[in-house]
């Protein structure tokens, strides 16, 4: 019985930390995430949920080159995404857009 009570704080600690780790997106690198927020991309895109735009996982699955992603963000081609409304051209400074594009092209 004493042993059970000794474990209780540990169990509570684990329970407290589990939901927190679910709300963060570990797949979005720490240097890219703030950019997606800063330029408003997160309003329409999420890593694993379809919002107004396709989820990042689906964009990554297209295996674009970084160069192509930079092109598409500046001049979207809505025909690539049947069933979605067209995305407006996004104005993102080149250096930041390159970081976003490298991530969307390089990963899984
Ligand atoms: C108002 C909603 C909205 C915002 C804000 C938005 N997007 Fe999109 N995005 C979409 C939609 C809808 C599509 C699919 C239709 C299309 O490509 O036009 C899309 C498609 C894309 C694609 C895939 C392009 C292709 O042709 O395969 C990329 C990459 C992308 N968005 C990146 C971004 C980035 C980076 C930002 C922030 C700078 C951003 N989006 C902001 C709605 C949005």
Residue 27 confidence (pLDDT): 82
Which residue's CA is the closest to the ligand 1 atom numbered 27?
80
How many distinct helices (H) and strands (E) make up the chain?
5, 0
Which residue's CA is the closest to the ligand 1 atom numbered 37?
41
The SS3 of residue 59 is helix
pLDDT per position as a tens digit, 6-21: 655 555 444 555 544 4
Residues of the chain whose pLDDT is less than 50?
12-14, 19-21, 108
The full set of domain ranges for the chain reads: 27-106
Tell me the pTM: 0.82
Residue 21 confidence (pLDDT): 47
CB-based contacts of 76: which residues, under 8 Å, 6+ apart? Answer: 86, 87, 88, 89, 90
Q: Does the domain at residues 27-106 carry the CATH identifier 3.40.50.1580?
A: no
Ligand 1: residues whose CB is within 6 Å?
39-41, 43-45, 52-54, 59, 62, 69, 72-73, 76-78, 80-81, 84-87, 90, 92, 100, 104
The rounded Å distance from CA 23 to ligand 1 centre is 22
């Amino acid at each position: 019985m004493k042993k059970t009570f000794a474990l209780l704080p540990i169990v509570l600690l684990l329970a407290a930390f589990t939901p927190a780790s679910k709300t963060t997106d570990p797949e979005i690198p720490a240097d890219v995430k703030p950019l997606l927020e800063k330029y408003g991309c997160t309003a329409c895109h999420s890593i694993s949920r379809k919002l107004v735009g396709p989820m990042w996982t689906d964009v990554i699955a297209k295996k674009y080159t970084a160069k192509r992603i930079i092109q598409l963000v500046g001049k979207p081609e809505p025909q690539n995404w049947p069933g979605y409304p067209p995305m407006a051209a996004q104005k993102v400074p080149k250096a930041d857009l390159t970081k976003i594009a490298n991530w969307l092209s390089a990963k899984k």
